[in-house]
């Protein structure tokens, strides 16, 4: 996938969830997406 998608995914989550999303929870969501992107 393009780098644009990479940067959009974490930003998308942070803009909606904000600080409420813990780091560990965020990693659980973002890690699988990162695996698809790489």
Compute CA distances 28 → 16, 31, whole Å: 16, 6
pLDDT higher at 16 or 30 = 30
Reported as a single tens digit per residue, the pLDDT across 23-35 is 655 566 666 666 7
Structure confidence at residue 35 (pLDDT): 73
Instruction: Kindly list the domain boundaries of the chain, sorted by start residue.
Output: 3-16+23-37
Give the global pTM.
0.23
Average pLDDT, the chain: 59
Confidence of residue 10 (pLDDT cuts 50, 70, 90): low
């Amino acid at each position: 996938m393009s780098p644009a998608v990479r940067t959009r995914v974490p930003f998308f989550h942070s803009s909606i969830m904000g600080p409420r999303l813990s780091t560990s929870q965020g990693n659980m969501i973002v890690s699988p997406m990162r695996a698809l992107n790489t």
